Chain A
Amino acid sequence: RRPYEPPLLRRVRLVPVL
């Protein structure tokens, strides 16, 4: 059935390193 994985929030940085 639908696999259960703990709810997860990922923050994706869109600007950079420079």
Chain B
Amino acid sequence: MTPPRPASPPMRPSPDVVSRRIAGEYLLVPVCNGAAQMDFIFTANEVGSVVYRLLDGRRDAAEIARLVSQEFEVPEERVREDVEGFLATLQEAGLVRPAEPEPR
């Protein structure tokens, strides 16, 4: 049995990534100095694109899971683990980064 994944802190999209919906596909293109690094790109499915667009640096995984569960009308507990795993995948790919804590 795998141990529970630690809760993700709020994330925000990496500034080095451009996202566009093109022909029904949600594309994430890593860029460097304004030029696309065209060795590879990423595509996300419908739910993945919703999650990515909810990353504003303030919402944590639990809040995103709640919004996704409302959007798709599925139980929140079912979505929560999926969102945690997806955020970990995005971070490993360098597409998101933890948000800086807001100054008090």
Contacts and interface: CB of A to CB of B under 8 A. Distances in A.
B85 to A, nearest CB: 8
B86 A14 contact: no
The A interface, classified by DSSP as helix, strand, loop or mixed, is: loop
Contact of A7 (B40, B45, B95): B45
B41 interface: yes
B93 interface: yes
Is the interface on chain A under 10, 10 to 19, 20 to 34, or 35 or more residues?
A: 10 to 19
B77 interface: no
Interface in A1-18: 1-15
B39 interface: yes
Contacts of A1: 72-73
A10 to B, nearest CB: 5
Interface of A: 1-15
5 contacts: A4-B72, A4-B78, A6-B82, A11-B41, A12-B42
